[in-house]
Structure 1
Amino acid sequence: MGGCSKRAVAKGVKSNLLLILMIIAMAVGIGMGWGLRFVEPKLTKRDIFYLRFPGDILLQMLKMLILPLIVSSLVSAMASLDLQESGRIGLRAIVYYITTTLFAVIMGIILVLSIKPGDHGDKDSITRSGKSKVVNTADALLDLIRVSFPDNLIEACFQKKITDQIPIEKPEPTTMDPENLTAITMYTYNITNETEEVSEEPQQYEPKVVTKPGMNVLGLVVFSLFFGCIISRMKEKGRILAEFFEALNDATMQLITLVIWYSPIGVLFLIAAKMVEMDDPEVVFTQLGLYCVTVIVGLIIHGYIVLPIIYFIATRKNPYRFIYGMVQAIVTALATASSSATLPVTMNCLEHNNNVDLRVAKFIAPIGATINMDGTALYEAVASIFIAQINGIALSIGQVITVSVTATAAAIGAAGVPQAGLVTMVIVLTAVGLPTEDVTVILAVDWFLDRCRTSVNVLGDALGAGIVYGLSRKELAKMDANKTKENGHTEKKHAITSVNIANGDVTVNGIHNASYLGDESTNL
């Protein structure tokens, strides 16, 4: 009996070895990082740079796989799906994304208006660090459309075009020699100078489309979707392309498996380095503690209560068993703070741990990592109202609704990279007339909350793939049946590979079948 239990334990450890290693790595990273904070002499920036190096290697490997994974998975998925059925699957995904993002925003607004973190404590003690980026709301929303259609596909792999606000230089004031002025002109000259000194005009900006470094993930997603649709419509002519991208996807997934086994080492050093470089965490979390609590409570409720309920209603399956299969991706998201970098791990967990149909996983996961940002939407709703509270500004119902709508749109436009939500946060603040420079208030804790909301983003993507798979079983079965029927028809069509007619006997594929009156021998 004892031998059986030992074998069962050994089997359980073996099947969950990677997950166990990830959890151990995260715990050791936190402990090691916190301990190194008290080492004398203090670690320098160079020391932290070296400490982070194994983690940087993990990030680079994950980012290296984003491009081949997104393109190959989306193109092969669209090429293998029937266009009519894939349209239904895509519609379910879009409905899920919009619904859950709105739920997240509403949850954040309810919590921040109930807890009111900005109305507690000493508001003057909250430090402001850095400068906020100047963002125009209309330009930012138009950029979302602009990056969806890149003018150069190769350039989209490492650059994207966005609108930047260029300050307009004010013309130099005209100088006059006071000695040559009459009394009246002199009086006017003095008054003009006094007025210019008292009232300074606000800085004006003009929009300019500039090229910024960074992969244009949204543009690649849009191209891959359309390209896959065209291959699907080409039928037999597009088969060779479909097989190429399918093979590329298989090869990429095998590379991902190799990287994933290295991920515990990278996660350990990423977390340790981040713990060491924190500036006075006790003071920071004392100042912004209630704000952090509000965001984290909202993320927990949304990610581990609301989304699982939606999953259970849609699939009638245990959502927490599904979440258990995604723990590795959640931990990777906590370490990297990037849903795009976590995408390879997410795909691996969906396919191998939760047995989601590969066609759905390849179709839903890359799109979700690009546009489905539940955690970011909740965070932006909480942060914008928190900034209003610390400034003593009471938002009207209309402004709260504006926050919810703008936060939802801004979350969709947020890139799946660390701290991208800070840029889109300025859009939300601008929409309701809040001071954009106060975005620097939350910079001190954003690195921490960024990791928390990224893990919820990844969890939302995964549960979305599970829900779409559960609701699309009939369509997938129908596609399988049609594919089997087509393959059977093709086999039947090409079943006659050789016909030999000689002396009145007919031989088909080497089998004597019938007689034929003729004196010619023919091979087909």
Structure 2
Amino acid sequence: RRHPVQTANPPPLRNSPTIPSPSQSSPPFDTEIPSPASRYNTTSSQSTSSHPVLYSSYSLSTLYDRTEVVRMEEPGRTEGEGKGGSSGATGIFATMKKNLLPVLTVMAVVGGVSMGFILRTTSSSKWTPREVMYIQFPGDLFLRMLKGLIIPLLVASVTAAIGSLDFSLSKKIGGRAVLYYVSTTLLAVIEGIILVLLIKPGSRVSDVLKEDRKGSVMSRPVTTADTLLDLVRNLFPPNLVQSCIAQYRTVIIPPKEINETNSDIKLWDFTGEYTGSSNVLGLVVFSVVQGIAIAQMGKVGKPLQDFYTALGEAMMLITNWVIWLSPIGVFFLVAAKVLEAESFAVMVGQMGMYFLTVMVGLILHGFIVVPLIYVVCVKKMPIKFIANMGQAIITAFATGSSSATLSVSMGCLEEKNGIDTRVSRFVMPIGATINMDGTALYEAVAVIFISQVRHLSLSLTQIISVSITATMASIGAASIPQAGLVTMVMVLDTVGLPAEDVSLIFAVDWLLDRFRTTVNVLGDAIGAGVVAHLSQKELAQLPTIN
């Protein structure tokens, strides 16, 4: 209702509701509403204005809630009008609007797959790498923006989260997170081994495929000992700036001529080099130590704590801007991957059982075993929790990178699932670095699959070695697309299989990489939910950040 002229005593409205007493909590729609100053400033309430302030201190949703009073009084409106069938349509549109971004991203995935198949079938020749690069270019820009947020978001989030906690509480939360990570990774490996031994997908691969793939790629020579030592070395970076752009690895130098006397790789010379990928694990360790130091400093460390808190919030805000570009980026990324994939007939015909084995394992672990852990610990069904992680799941599938999805995952946890920021910003960066359930399951299945292709029977001791090595390899795997292929060499070396056999699974790895990354991200998110629930009492004793 609007009056043409505001007066000190406006005329009464026809059929207006009775003005309640001051003791009532909710004023009617047409009554005087206090100004914002009177709500937040105790001194301003002593002075009154000659004109009432209408609506100014109420949100738009509050006005919507109160318009029902006016609608009931409007002439010509019959009782029940606007309800019934139209309310259902309104509810659907409201749900669509609330979940607009996930809906658009799903449509982008479907559209990208469709576009990829259309371009494949309409082209008379195979698409060249340069042509695929042109299609993928918008997706690469989106991926670059996400990756550019990883390091500042990771360092700021971990430091601010731990700095806001008591040291004893940090140990409890960290201990719960590590226990969850190790337990779920071991479960994933065991599930994969059981499935591959039962299904035996390697016995169904033809000799033609073995010969076609043999020698198609040369892998970097590596030993298990070097891989584990490099993992420990990267925990302690000598240069933090260098850690943002490179990580250390051991390089084995083969002799010019290999013969019977020098064929042992352990006798070859070696050196060290820095690769072009960030040392995320070292940055996480430094951030944890820095957060503990800030927490121990008390008031002296408060300015530094505020800085990292503000930096983390700024990175999350930028993430919210970037993520609205995800439908465009996802569309072109998926279309390009479909274009550069090898023959789908070969993939389904020759590698179908291997693909099926890995997929059954990933679905079993990601959507049955891990949710059961959530049910046992939280005493709630995880359906809504998983649904709220939809945007992160889709982004993980499109990018194939846990790190690139980190900012999206944290946003879904905090904004939709209500996870305490001190838990999400502590647990998720660590989980994105070391918790790779899908990768561990995949590597265990792949190694035994390759042994089946070669008609080799692994002993119980070798299977146990595969389990332990796959767990360690998944921790050492960089959270970047197809990093599992690199650590696969380490697991193959455990059972004495040649590194060149990795080429057997290249045909389907690009697609399985998307699914195992999705399981990795979902496992991290459910872990954050479990840790947050188990840490409720300790967190309630401390003030929240943000």
Give 1:16 shift: 0.6
Task: State yes or no: 1:131 paired with 2:218.
Answer: yes
Q: Please name the residue that 2:158 is paired with.
A: 74
Equivalents in 2 of 1:201, 1:156: separation in Å?
A: 35
Give 1:3 shift: 3.4
Task: Name the amino acid aligned to 2:405.
Answer: T
Partner of residue 91 from structure 1, selected from 156, 159, 175: 175
| 8 Å contact from structure 2 (residues 205, 351) kept in 1 | no
Equivalents in 2 of 1:252, 1:295: separation in Å?
A: 35
Task: State yes or no: 1:376 paired with 2:446.
Answer: no
SS state of the match for residue 440, structure 1?
Answer: helix
Give 1:122 shift: 1.6
SS state of the match for residue 309, structure 2?
Answer: helix
Equivalents in 2 of 1:220, 1:283: separation in Å?
A: 42
Partner of residue 345 from structure 1, selected from 399, 404, 408: 408
Give 1:203 shift: 6.3
Q: Please name the residue that 1:415 is paired with.
A: 478
Q: Please name the residue that 2:137 is paired with.
A: 53
Per-residue deviation, residues 172-223 of structure 1 (Å, max 9, x unmatched): xxxxxxxxxxxxxxxxxxxxxxxx8xx6752642221111111110011000
Equivalents in 1 of 2:205, 2:229: separation in Å?
A: 39
Q: Please name the residue that 1:179 is paired with.
A: none
Q: Please name the residue that 2:237 is paired with.
A: 150
Q: How does 1:295-374 map to 2 (within 5 A)?
A: 295-374=358-437
Partner of residue 405 from structure 1, selected from 443, 454, 468: 468
Task: Name the amino acid aligned to 1:371.
Answer: I
SS state of the match for residue 415, structure 2?
Answer: helix
Per-residue deviation, residues 437-461 of structure 1 (Å, max 9, x unmatched): 2111111211111111111000100
Give 1:132 shift: 2.0
Q: Please name the residue that 1:518 is paired with.
A: none
SS state of the match for residue 281, structure 2?
Answer: helix
Equivalents in 2 of 1:306, 1:254: separation in Å?
A: 34
TM-score, normalisation: structure 2: 0.81
Give 1:114 shift: 0.2
- Structure 2 gaps of 5+ residues are 1-82
Runs of 4+ in 1 over 4 A off after TM superposition: none
| 8 Å contact from structure 1 (residues 144, 413) kept in 2 | yes
Task: Name the amino acid aligned to 1:211.
Answer: Y
Task: State yes or no: 1:430 paired with 2:493.
Answer: yes
Give 1:75 shift: 0.5
Equivalents in 1 of 2:309, 2:262: separation in Å?
A: 59
Give 1:73 shift: 0.2
SS state of the match for residue 481, structure 2?
Answer: coil
Q: Please name the residue that 1:28 is paired with.
A: 111
Equivalents in 2 of 1:223, 1:323: separation in Å?
A: 31
Aligned-residue CA RMSD in angstroms? 1.6
Q: Please name the residue that 1:213 is paired with.
A: 276
Q: Please name the residue that 1:202 is paired with.
A: 263
Q: Please name the residue that 2:448 is paired with.
A: 385
SS state of the match for residue 247, structure 2?
Answer: strand
Partner of residue 271 from structure 1, selected from 318, 334, 344: 334
SS state of the match for residue 318, structure 1?
Answer: coil
Q: Please name the residue that 2:511 is paired with.
A: 448
Task: Name the amino acid aligned to 2:263.
Answer: P
Equivalents in 2 of 1:411, 1:45: separation in Å?
A: 30
Alignment CA distance shift 1:26-1:444 (3 Å)? same
Task: State yes or no: 1:4 paired with 2:87.
Answer: yes
Give 1:121 shift: 3.9
| 8 Å contact from structure 1 (residues 105, 381) kept in 2 | yes
- Structure 1 gaps of 5+ residues are 172-195, 484-524
Give 1:41 shift: 4.4
Task: Name the amino acid aligned to 1:58.
Answer: F
Q: Please name the residue that 1:62 is paired with.
A: 146
Give 1:320 shift: 1.6
Give 1:170 shift: 5.1
Task: State yes or no: 1:159 paired with 2:246.
Answer: yes
Task: Name the amino acid aligned to 1:15.
Answer: K
Partner of residue 18 from structure 1, selected from 66, 76, 101: 101
Give 1:7 shift: 2.5
Task: Name the amino acid aligned to 2:164.
Answer: S
Identity of aligned residues (%): 52
| 8 Å contact from structure 1 (residues 307, 463) kept in 2 | yes
Task: Name the amino acid aligned to 2:438.
Answer: G
Give 1:125 shift: 2.4
| 8 Å contact from structure 1 (residues 160, 215) kept in 2 | yes
| 8 Å contact from structure 1 (residues 410, 425) kept in 2 | yes
| 8 Å contact from structure 2 (residues 204, 350) kept in 1 | no
Equivalents in 1 of 2:209, 2:242: separation in Å?
A: 45
Give 1:328 shift: 1.0
Equivalents in 2 of 1:227, 1:233: separation in Å?
A: 10
Equivalents in 2 of 1:248, 1:76: separation in Å?
A: 9
Per-residue deviation, residues 376-412 of structure 1 (Å, max 9, x unmatched): 0000000000111111110011111111011011111
| 8 Å contact from structure 1 (residues 48, 273) kept in 2 | yes
Equivalents in 2 of 1:251, 1:381: separation in Å?
A: 40
Equivalents in 1 of 2:206, 2:151: separation in Å?
A: 47
| 8 Å contact from structure 1 (residues 374, 456) kept in 2 | yes
| 8 Å contact from structure 1 (residues 132, 440) kept in 2 | no
Equivalents in 1 of 2:122, 2:87: separation in Å?
A: 47
Task: Name the amino acid aligned to 1:393.
Answer: L
Equivalents in 2 of 1:121, 1:432: separation in Å?
A: 20
Partner of residue 262 from structure 1, selected from 322, 325, 337: 325
Alignment CA distance shift 1:45-1:120 (3 Å)? closer
Task: Name the amino acid aligned to 2:478.
Answer: A
Equivalents in 1 of 2:205, 2:254: separation in Å?
A: 37
Per-residue deviation, residues 15-46 of structure 1 (Å, max 9, x unmatched): 11111111111111111111110123444433
Task: Name the amino acid aligned to 2:196.
Answer: V
Task: Name the amino acid aligned to 1:315.
Answer: V
Equivalents in 1 of 2:261, 2:298: separation in Å?
A: 66
Bigger mean CA offset, 43-52 vs 373-382: 43-52
SS state of the match for residue 139, structure 1?
Answer: helix
SS state of the match for residue 480, structure 1?
Answer: coil
SS state of the match for residue 471, structure 2?
Answer: helix
| 8 Å contact from structure 2 (residues 413, 424) kept in 1 | yes
TM-score, normalisation: structure 1: 0.85
